[in-house]
């Protein structure tokens, strides 16, 4: 199936602190994905709770919330053919140790929390997350 999609992607605060923004963006662009919106943001706890609404009751959520609010991150909308699947594939598995070498997480982290990037996991979550982060801008 071929279809142009949009997906919401975050370069998380660990990656911004470590100077990985350019390298990560380079990989998305090299694949053929294009930014339609891109902004440096620092989010508060209430916004984190909305973004991670499916996870707020998990035992590991409080430290995740502390992490994602710990400094600036880069929020973006990427577009391209099957962009949701394409970005999830480039990002790799959630746990950086399990993530395949060559993927962003596989190459740049050892953590299942501070794992460099986020991306929408379905058309429904992409629509919800794009509306949350970029509202009526796009």
Catalytic residue among 118, 120, 129, 134: 118
103 binds ligand CDP (CB under 6 A): no
Shortest distance in whole angstroms from residue 122 CB to ligand CDP: 10
Of the two residues 40 and 60, which places its CB atom closer to ligand CDP in the complex?
60
Collect all residues with Cβ–Cβ distance below 8 Å to 39 and sequence separation of at least 6: 74, 75, 76
Burial 99-115 (b: 16+ CB within 10 A, else e): beeebbbbbbbeebbbb
Q: Which of 94, 100, 102, 110 binds ligand CDP (CB under 6 A)?
A: 94
Round to whole Å and give the CA distance between 107 and 31.
16
66 binds ligand CDP (CB under 6 A): no
Round to whole Å and give the CA distance between 52 and 129.
10
Distance of CA 37 to the CA centre of its chain: 13
Shortest distance in whole angstroms from residue 12 CB to ligand CDP: 7
Q: Which residues are annotated as a binding site for ATP?
A: 12, 88, 94, 105, 115
The CA angle 68-98-42, to the nearest 5 degrees, is 10
Site for ligand CDP in 109-128 (CB under 6 A): 112-113, 115, 118, 121
Of the two residues 36 and 121, which places its CB atom closer to ligand CDP in the complex?
121
Contacts with ligand CDP by CB under 6 A lie at: 55, 60, 64, 94, 112-113, 115, 118, 121
């Amino acid at each position: 199936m071929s279809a142009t999609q949009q997906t919401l992607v975050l370069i998380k605060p660990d990656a911004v602190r470590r100077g990985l923004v350019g390298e990560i963006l380079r990989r998305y662009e090299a694949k053929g994905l294009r930014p339609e919106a891109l902004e440096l943001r620092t989010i508060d706890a209430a916004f984190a709770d909305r973004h991670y609404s499916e996870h707020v009751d998990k035992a590991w959520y409080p430290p995740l919330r502390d992490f994602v609010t710990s400094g600036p991150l880069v929020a973006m909308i990427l577009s391209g053919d099957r962009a949701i699947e394409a970005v999830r594939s480039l990002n790799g598995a959630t746990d950086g140790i399990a993530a395949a070498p060559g993927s962003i997480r596989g190459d740049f982290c050892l953590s299942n929390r501070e794992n460099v990037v986020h991306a929408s996991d379905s058309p429904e979550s992409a629509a919800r997350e794009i509306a949350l982060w970029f509202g009526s801008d796009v």
